[in-house]
Protein backbone atom coordinates (compact mmCIF):
# COMPACT_ATOMS: atom_id res chain seq x y z
CA UNK A 1 0.00 0.00 0.00
CA UNK A 2 1.20 3.47 -0.89
CA UNK A 3 2.08 5.87 2.00
CA UNK A 4 -1.07 7.93 1.56
CA UNK A 5 -0.63 9.47 5.02
CA UNK A 6 2.70 10.94 3.93
CA UNK A 7 1.09 12.52 0.87
CA UNK A 8 -1.65 14.01 3.03
CA UNK A 9 0.98 15.31 5.46
CA UNK A 10 2.66 17.23 2.64
CA UNK A 11 5.65 14.98 1.97
CA UNK A 12 6.83 16.04 -1.51
CA UNK A 13 8.87 12.94 -2.19
CA UNK A 14 5.90 10.70 -1.38
CA UNK A 15 3.73 12.85 -3.66
CA UNK A 16 6.25 12.66 -6.51
CA UNK A 17 6.33 8.87 -6.22
CA UNK A 18 2.57 8.71 -6.12
CA UNK A 19 2.33 10.80 -9.30
CA UNK A 20 4.64 8.36 -11.08
CA UNK A 21 2.51 5.43 -9.90
CA UNK A 22 -0.60 7.21 -11.20
CA UNK A 23 1.03 7.91 -14.56
CA UNK A 24 2.03 4.26 -14.85
CA UNK A 25 -1.46 3.22 -13.77
CA UNK A 26 -0.09 0.70 -11.27
CA UNK A 27 -2.40 -1.16 -8.83
CA UNK A 28 -0.74 0.70 -5.94
CA UNK A 29 -1.39 4.01 -7.69
CA UNK A 30 -5.04 3.13 -8.21
CA UNK A 31 -5.47 2.06 -4.59
CA UNK A 32 -3.84 5.28 -3.40
CA UNK A 33 -6.19 7.36 -5.55
CA UNK A 34 -9.15 5.62 -3.95
CA UNK A 35 -7.75 6.25 -0.48
CA UNK A 36 -7.16 9.92 -1.35
CA UNK A 37 -10.56 10.46 -2.93
CA UNK A 38 -12.38 11.60 0.25
CA UNK A 39 -9.72 14.28 0.72
CA UNK A 40 -10.11 15.82 -2.75
CA UNK A 41 -12.68 18.32 -3.98
CA UNK A 42 -11.39 21.55 -2.49
CA UNK A 43 -8.85 22.81 -5.03
CA UNK A 44 -9.71 25.37 -7.68
CA UNK A 45 -8.81 23.65 -10.96
CA UNK A 46 -7.82 26.15 -13.63
CA UNK A 47 -7.28 24.99 -17.21
CA UNK A 48 -5.03 27.04 -19.47
CA UNK A 49 -5.33 26.11 -23.12
CA UNK A 50 -4.64 27.67 -26.50
CA UNK A 51 -2.61 27.33 -29.68
CA UNK A 52 1.11 26.50 -29.47
CA UNK A 53 3.32 29.40 -28.51
CA UNK A 54 0.59 31.80 -27.36
CA UNK A 55 2.34 32.10 -24.00
CA UNK A 56 0.48 29.61 -21.83
CA UNK A 57 3.52 28.50 -19.84
CA UNK A 58 4.67 32.08 -19.31
CA UNK A 59 1.19 32.97 -18.10
CA UNK A 60 0.94 29.93 -15.82
CA UNK A 61 4.30 30.87 -14.35
CA UNK A 62 3.13 34.44 -13.70
CA UNK A 63 -0.18 33.34 -12.24
CA UNK A 64 1.54 30.89 -9.91
CA UNK A 65 3.90 33.64 -8.81
CA UNK A 66 0.94 35.91 -8.19
CA UNK A 67 -0.77 33.32 -5.98
CA UNK A 68 2.46 32.81 -4.03
CA UNK A 69 3.08 36.55 -3.65
CA UNK A 70 -0.38 38.12 -3.53
CA UNK A 71 -1.01 41.81 -2.93
CA UNK A 72 -1.06 43.00 0.68
CA UNK A 73 -3.80 41.59 2.82
CA UNK A 74 -4.28 38.38 0.86
CA UNK A 75 -2.96 35.02 2.00
CA UNK A 76 -0.62 33.16 -0.35
CA UNK A 77 -2.08 30.01 -1.87
CA UNK A 78 -0.30 26.75 -2.62
CA UNK A 79 -0.07 25.98 -6.33
CA UNK A 80 0.34 22.83 -8.39
CA UNK A 81 1.13 23.07 -12.10
CA UNK A 82 0.38 20.23 -14.51
CA UNK A 83 1.87 20.80 -17.96
CA UNK A 84 0.35 18.35 -20.40
CA UNK A 85 2.20 17.90 -23.65
CA UNK A 86 0.44 15.35 -25.81
CA UNK A 87 2.76 15.93 -28.75
CA UNK A 88 5.96 14.74 -27.16
CA UNK A 89 6.33 11.08 -26.22
CA UNK A 90 9.09 12.05 -23.82
CA UNK A 91 9.66 15.17 -21.81
CA UNK A 92 10.94 17.03 -24.84
CA UNK A 93 12.06 20.50 -25.77
CA UNK A 94 8.85 22.34 -25.00
CA UNK A 95 8.81 21.01 -21.49
CA UNK A 96 12.46 21.83 -21.02
CA UNK A 97 11.67 25.37 -22.11
CA UNK A 98 8.84 25.45 -19.60
CA UNK A 99 11.25 24.52 -16.83
CA UNK A 100 13.42 27.48 -17.72
CA UNK A 101 10.41 29.81 -17.65
CA UNK A 102 9.31 28.36 -14.30
CA UNK A 103 12.60 29.14 -12.58
CA UNK A 104 11.09 31.96 -10.49
CA UNK A 105 9.15 29.25 -8.73
CA UNK A 106 11.91 26.74 -8.03
CA UNK A 107 12.79 26.29 -4.40
CA UNK A 108 9.31 27.39 -3.32
CA UNK A 109 7.85 24.59 -1.19
CA UNK A 110 4.36 25.90 -1.90
CA UNK A 111 4.66 25.08 -5.60
CA UNK A 112 4.77 21.67 -7.25
CA UNK A 113 5.35 21.37 -11.01
CA UNK A 114 4.70 18.21 -12.99
CA UNK A 115 5.14 17.78 -16.73
CA UNK A 116 3.27 14.96 -18.39
CA UNK A 117 3.75 13.54 -21.84
CA UNK A 118 1.61 11.08 -23.72
CA UNK A 119 2.63 7.43 -23.48
CA UNK A 120 0.11 6.01 -25.83
CA UNK A 121 -3.45 7.07 -26.31
CA UNK A 122 -4.64 10.62 -25.74
CA UNK A 123 -7.63 9.20 -23.88
CA UNK A 124 -5.15 7.58 -21.52
CA UNK A 125 -3.45 10.91 -21.10
CA UNK A 126 -6.73 12.55 -20.12
CA UNK A 127 -7.33 9.90 -17.47
CA UNK A 128 -3.76 10.14 -16.20
CA UNK A 129 -4.13 13.91 -15.93
CA UNK A 130 -7.35 13.52 -13.97
CA UNK A 131 -5.56 11.22 -11.52
CA UNK A 132 -2.61 13.55 -11.11
CA UNK A 133 -4.93 16.52 -10.56
CA UNK A 134 -6.89 14.57 -7.96
CA UNK A 135 -3.68 13.72 -6.12
CA UNK A 136 -2.68 17.41 -5.97
CA UNK A 137 -6.17 18.31 -4.80
CA UNK A 138 -6.10 15.70 -2.02
CA UNK A 139 -2.57 16.72 -1.04
CA UNK A 140 -4.01 20.14 -0.23
CA UNK A 141 -2.87 22.30 -3.15
CA UNK A 142 -5.36 25.15 -3.31
CA UNK A 143 -4.80 26.08 -6.95
CA UNK A 144 -4.11 23.53 -9.69
CA UNK A 145 -3.12 25.06 -13.04
CA UNK A 146 -3.43 22.64 -15.96
CA UNK A 147 -1.70 23.68 -19.19
CA UNK A 148 -2.71 21.95 -22.42
CA UNK A 149 -2.14 22.80 -26.06
CA UNK A 150 -5.61 23.43 -27.43
CA UNK A 151 -5.61 21.45 -30.61
CA UNK A 152 -8.30 18.82 -30.46
CA UNK A 153 -10.77 16.67 -28.58
CA UNK A 154 -8.27 15.23 -26.13
CA UNK A 155 -7.26 18.70 -25.02
CA UNK A 156 -10.89 19.68 -24.70
CA UNK A 157 -11.44 16.62 -22.50
CA UNK A 158 -8.54 17.65 -20.33
CA UNK A 159 -9.83 21.20 -20.15
CA UNK A 160 -13.18 19.83 -18.98
CA UNK A 161 -11.49 18.79 -15.78
CA UNK A 162 -11.18 22.41 -14.82
CA UNK A 163 -13.62 24.62 -12.95
CA UNK A 164 -12.33 27.64 -14.81
CA UNK A 165 -10.90 27.42 -18.31
CA UNK A 166 -8.71 30.15 -19.78
CA UNK A 167 -8.34 30.15 -23.56
CA UNK A 168 -5.19 32.00 -24.54
CA UNK A 169 -4.91 33.86 -27.83
CA UNK A 170 -2.09 35.95 -29.19
CA UNK A 171 -2.08 38.52 -31.98
CA UNK A 172 -0.11 37.85 -35.11
CA UNK A 173 -0.90 34.17 -35.54
CA UNK A 174 -2.70 34.97 -38.74
CA UNK A 175 -6.04 36.66 -39.11
CA UNK A 176 -8.07 33.71 -37.89
CA UNK A 177 -8.58 33.26 -34.24
CA UNK A 178 -6.78 30.05 -33.40
CA UNK A 179 -9.27 28.98 -30.76
CA UNK A 180 -12.11 29.09 -33.24
CA UNK A 181 -10.22 26.83 -35.59
CA UNK A 182 -9.53 24.40 -32.80
CA UNK A 183 -13.14 24.61 -31.61
CA UNK A 184 -12.10 25.43 -28.08
CA UNK A 185 -13.67 28.85 -27.79
CA UNK A 186 -16.88 27.37 -26.46
CA UNK A 187 -15.13 25.97 -23.41
CA UNK A 188 -13.64 29.35 -22.47
CA UNK A 189 -14.69 30.90 -19.18
CA UNK A 190 -12.12 33.64 -19.63
CA UNK A 191 -10.49 34.73 -22.87
CA UNK A 192 -6.92 35.93 -22.59
CA UNK A 193 -5.20 37.94 -25.27
CA UNK A 194 -1.57 37.48 -24.35
CA UNK A 195 1.34 39.24 -26.06
CA UNK A 196 -0.65 42.45 -25.84
CA UNK A 197 2.65 44.23 -26.56
CA UNK A 198 2.51 42.89 -30.12
CA UNK A 199 0.86 44.64 -33.06
CA UNK A 200 -2.60 43.43 -34.04
CA UNK A 201 -4.09 43.26 -30.53
CA UNK A 202 -7.08 45.38 -31.59
CA UNK A 203 -7.89 43.01 -34.45
CA UNK A 204 -7.71 39.98 -32.20
CA UNK A 205 -9.89 41.67 -29.62
CA UNK A 206 -12.46 42.73 -32.20
CA UNK A 207 -12.63 39.22 -33.64
CA UNK A 208 -13.08 37.69 -30.20
CA UNK A 209 -15.77 40.19 -29.26
CA UNK A 210 -17.68 39.39 -32.42
CA UNK A 211 -17.47 35.70 -31.64
CA UNK A 212 -18.63 36.31 -28.08
CA UNK A 213 -21.59 38.37 -29.24
CA UNK A 214 -22.65 35.50 -31.45
CA UNK A 215 -22.25 32.96 -28.70
CA UNK A 216 -23.81 35.05 -25.92
CA UNK A 217 -26.38 37.37 -27.45
CA UNK A 218 -27.65 39.98 -25.06
CA UNK A 219 -31.45 40.17 -24.80
CA UNK A 220 -32.62 41.50 -28.15
CA UNK A 221 -34.70 44.62 -28.21
CA UNK A 222 -37.47 45.03 -30.78
CA UNK A 223 -40.44 47.25 -31.45
CA UNK A 224 -43.80 45.84 -30.51
CA UNK A 225 -46.96 47.95 -30.63
CA UNK A 226 -44.70 50.93 -30.92
CA UNK A 227 -43.00 50.25 -27.63
CA UNK A 228 -39.56 48.86 -26.98
CA UNK A 229 -39.78 45.47 -25.41
CA UNK A 230 -37.13 43.09 -24.40
CA UNK A 231 -37.26 39.61 -25.79
CA UNK A 232 -36.39 37.38 -22.89
CA UNK A 233 -35.79 33.66 -22.98
CA UNK A 234 -38.76 31.45 -22.09
CA UNK A 235 -39.42 31.57 -18.35
CA UNK A 236 -38.61 27.92 -17.85
CA UNK A 237 -35.13 28.33 -19.24
CA UNK A 238 -34.53 31.84 -17.96
CA UNK A 239 -31.41 31.61 -15.83
CA UNK A 240 -31.16 33.60 -12.63
CA UNK A 241 -28.94 36.65 -12.88
CA UNK A 242 -26.02 35.00 -11.16
CA UNK A 243 -26.29 32.06 -13.56
CA UNK A 244 -25.25 34.17 -16.53
CA UNK A 245 -21.52 34.29 -17.16
CA UNK A 246 -20.28 36.09 -20.19
CA UNK A 247 -16.59 35.26 -20.70
CA UNK A 248 -14.54 38.41 -20.13
CA UNK A 249 -11.58 39.27 -22.33
CA UNK A 250 -8.37 40.01 -20.46
CA UNK A 251 -5.25 41.36 -22.11
CA UNK A 252 -1.89 40.31 -20.69
CA UNK A 253 1.83 40.61 -21.35
CA UNK A 254 3.07 37.46 -19.68
CA UNK A 255 6.74 38.29 -20.17
CA UNK A 256 6.30 41.41 -18.00
CA UNK A 257 3.40 40.30 -15.81
CA UNK A 258 1.08 43.05 -17.07
CA UNK A 259 -2.59 42.20 -16.64
CA UNK A 260 -1.87 39.21 -14.43
CA UNK A 261 -3.38 40.64 -11.20
CA UNK A 262 -6.48 41.57 -13.24
CA UNK A 263 -6.59 38.05 -14.69
CA UNK A 264 -6.33 36.55 -11.20
CA UNK A 265 -9.23 38.80 -10.16
CA UNK A 266 -11.35 37.51 -13.06
CA UNK A 267 -10.52 33.93 -12.06
CA UNK A 268 -11.63 34.68 -8.49
CA UNK A 269 -14.79 36.32 -9.81
CA UNK A 270 -15.53 33.22 -11.87
CA UNK A 271 -15.16 31.01 -8.83
CA UNK A 272 -17.55 33.21 -6.87
CA UNK A 273 -19.97 32.99 -9.78
CA UNK A 274 -19.68 29.18 -9.89
CA UNK A 275 -20.44 28.91 -6.20
CA UNK A 276 -23.31 31.40 -6.22
CA UNK A 277 -24.99 29.88 -9.27
CA UNK A 278 -24.63 26.27 -8.15
CA UNK A 279 -22.38 25.52 -11.13
CA UNK A 280 -19.49 24.58 -8.87
CA UNK A 281 -21.45 21.62 -7.62
CA UNK A 282 -23.00 20.88 -11.03
CA UNK A 283 -19.58 20.75 -12.63
CA UNK A 284 -18.07 18.33 -10.16
CA UNK A 285 -21.17 16.18 -10.26
CA UNK A 286 -20.95 16.02 -14.05
CA UNK A 287 -17.25 15.25 -13.80
CA UNK A 288 -17.82 12.42 -11.35
CA UNK A 289 -20.62 11.03 -13.47
CA UNK A 290 -18.39 10.98 -16.56
CA UNK A 291 -15.64 9.28 -14.61
CA UNK A 292 -18.03 6.72 -13.17
CA UNK A 293 -19.49 5.90 -16.56
CA UNK A 294 -16.08 5.60 -18.21
CA UNK A 295 -14.84 3.26 -15.51
CA UNK A 296 -18.07 1.27 -15.56
CA UNK A 297 -17.85 0.77 -19.31
CA UNK A 298 -14.25 -0.39 -19.06
CA UNK A 299 -15.06 -2.72 -16.21
CA UNK A 300 -18.09 -4.23 -17.95
CA UNK A 301 -16.21 -4.86 -21.18
CA UNK A 302 -13.33 -6.32 -19.19
CA UNK A 303 -15.59 -8.65 -17.22
CA UNK A 304 -17.50 -9.72 -20.32
CA UNK A 305 -14.23 -10.44 -22.16
CA UNK A 306 -13.17 -12.75 -19.33
CA UNK A 307 -16.45 -14.63 -19.36
CA UNK A 308 -16.87 -15.48 -23.03
CA UNK A 309 -15.21 -18.64 -24.37
CA UNK A 310 -11.93 -18.23 -26.26
CA UNK A 311 -12.39 -17.39 -29.95
CA UNK A 312 -16.10 -16.80 -29.44
CA UNK A 313 -15.80 -13.12 -30.35
CA UNK A 314 -13.87 -13.98 -33.53
CA UNK A 315 -16.47 -16.63 -34.49
CA UNK A 316 -19.37 -14.23 -34.09
CA UNK A 317 -17.49 -11.51 -35.91
CA UNK A 318 -16.83 -13.75 -38.92
CA UNK A 319 -20.53 -14.68 -39.06
CA UNK A 320 -21.25 -10.96 -39.09
CA UNK A 321 -18.75 -10.33 -41.88
CA UNK A 322 -20.35 -13.11 -43.93
CA UNK A 323 -23.74 -11.52 -43.29
CA UNK A 324 -25.09 -14.65 -41.68
CA UNK A 325 -26.15 -12.48 -38.74
CA UNK A 326 -26.82 -8.76 -38.32
CA UNK A 327 -24.86 -6.46 -35.98
CA UNK A 328 -27.74 -6.55 -33.49
CA UNK A 329 -27.88 -10.33 -33.58
CA UNK A 330 -24.13 -10.38 -33.11
CA UNK A 331 -24.47 -8.30 -29.95
CA UNK A 332 -27.20 -10.62 -28.66
CA UNK A 333 -25.01 -13.61 -29.34
CA UNK A 334 -21.98 -11.99 -27.70
CA UNK A 335 -23.86 -10.92 -24.60
CA UNK A 336 -25.25 -14.42 -24.37
CA UNK A 337 -21.63 -15.40 -23.97
CA UNK A 338 -21.66 -18.53 -26.11
CA UNK A 339 -24.38 -20.15 -23.99
CA UNK A 340 -27.48 -21.43 -25.75
CA UNK A 341 -30.26 -18.87 -25.46
N1 LIG B 1 6.25 39.60 -26.78
C2 LIG B 1 5.76 38.71 -25.95
N3 LIG B 1 6.25 37.44 -25.93
C4 LIG B 1 5.72 36.56 -25.07
C5 LIG B 1 4.66 36.91 -24.19
N6 LIG B 1 4.35 35.82 -23.47
C7 LIG B 1 5.14 34.81 -23.89
N8 LIG B 1 5.99 35.26 -24.85
C9 LIG B 1 7.02 34.49 -25.56
O10 LIG B 1 6.39 33.59 -26.42
C11 LIG B 1 7.13 32.37 -26.50
C12 LIG B 1 6.24 31.19 -26.16
O13 LIG B 1 5.85 31.28 -24.80
P14 LIG B 1 5.37 30.03 -23.97
O15 LIG B 1 4.98 30.52 -22.64
O16 LIG B 1 6.36 28.91 -24.05
O17 LIG B 1 4.09 29.62 -24.83
P18 LIG B 1 3.24 28.28 -24.71
O19 LIG B 1 1.88 28.65 -25.15
O20 LIG B 1 3.39 27.68 -23.38
O21 LIG B 1 3.96 27.37 -25.79
P22 LIG B 1 3.72 25.80 -26.01
O23 LIG B 1 3.64 25.16 -24.64
O24 LIG B 1 4.93 25.36 -26.77
O25 LIG B 1 2.45 25.68 -26.79
C26 LIG B 1 8.29 32.52 -25.55
O27 LIG B 1 9.42 32.92 -26.29
C28 LIG B 1 7.84 33.64 -24.63
O29 LIG B 1 8.92 34.35 -24.09
C30 LIG B 1 4.18 38.26 -24.21
O31 LIG B 1 3.26 38.65 -23.49
N32 LIG B 1 4.76 39.10 -25.12
MG1 LIG C 1 3.93 25.69 -22.83
Whether the predicted pLDDT of 164 surpasses 70:
yes
**What pLDDT does 208 receive?**
87
Q: Which ligand is nearest to the CA of 54?
A: 1
- Angle 319-322-324 (CA atoms, 0-180°, nearest 5)? 60
First to last CA, the chain: 44
pTM of the model: 0.83
- Closest C-alpha to 64, from 221, 263, 271, 231: 263
* CA–CA separation, 278 and 222 (whole Å): 32
Q: In this model, does residue 254 exceed pLDDT 70?
A: yes
230 DSSP β-pair partners: 221
Ligand 1 geometric centre to CA of 152 (Å): 20
Would you say the CB of residue 99 lies under 6 angstroms from ligand 1? no
Q: What is the mean pLDDT of the chain?
A: 83
pLDDT digits (tens, 9 = 90+) for 95-128: 444 554 566 677 889 999 998 876 656 667 778 8
Tell me the best of 47, 56, 58 to mutate to test the pocket of ligand 1, counting ligand atoms within 8 Å of each CB and taking the most.
Answer: 58
* Mutate which of 60, 81, 255 for ligand 1 pocket (most atoms within 8 A of beta carbon): 255
The answer to whether the beta carbons of residues 48 and 56 sit under 8 Å apart is: yes
Least confident of 14-18, 20-24, 26-30, 84-88: 84-88
- Give domain limits for the chain: 40-279
- Taking the centre of ligand 2 as the mean of its atom positions, its distance from the CA of residue 256, in whole angstroms, is 17
What atom of ligand 1 comes closest to residue 149's alpha carbon? 25
State how far the Cα of 289 lies from the Cα of 107, in Å rounded to an integer: 38
Confidence of residue 84 (pLDDT cuts 50, 70, 90): confident
Query: Is the distance from the beta carbon of residue 88 to the nearest atom of ligand 1 less than 6 Å?
Result: no
What pLDDT does residue 117 have? 74
| CATH fold label, 40-279 | Rossmann fold (3.40.50)
Strand 227-231 relative to strand 220-224: parallel, antiparallel, unpaired? antiparallel
CA of 54 to the centre of ligand 1 (A): 5
CA of 113 to the centre of ligand 1 (A): 18
Question: Model confidence over 197-241: pLDDT tens digits?
Answer: 999 899 889 888 888 877 666 554 444 444 444 444 444 444 555
Does residue 66 have its Cβ closer than 6 Å to ligand 1? no
Report the atom number in ligand 1 closest to the C-alpha of 94. 24
Å from CA of 58 to ligand 2 middle:
7
CA atoms within 13 A on the CB side of 144: 30
Whether residue 61 has its Cβ less than 6 Å from ligand 1: no
- CA 39 vs. chain centroid, Å, equals 20
172 lines ligand 1 (CB under 6 A): no
Does residue 47's CB lie within 6 angstroms of at least one atom of ligand 1?
no
Give the whole-angstrom CA distance, residue 268 versus residue 214. Answer: 25
- Taking the CA of residue 58 as reference, the ligand 1 atom at the shortest distance is 15
Amino acid sequence: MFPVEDVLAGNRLALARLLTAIENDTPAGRAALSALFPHAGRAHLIGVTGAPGTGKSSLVNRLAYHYRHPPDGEAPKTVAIVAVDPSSPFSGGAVLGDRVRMRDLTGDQGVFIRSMASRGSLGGLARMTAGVVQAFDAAGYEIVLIETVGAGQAEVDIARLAHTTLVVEAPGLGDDIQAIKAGILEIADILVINKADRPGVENTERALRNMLNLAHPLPRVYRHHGALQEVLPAVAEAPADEAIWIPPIQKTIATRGDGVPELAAEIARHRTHLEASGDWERRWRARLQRELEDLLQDALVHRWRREIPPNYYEDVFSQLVQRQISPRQAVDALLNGGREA
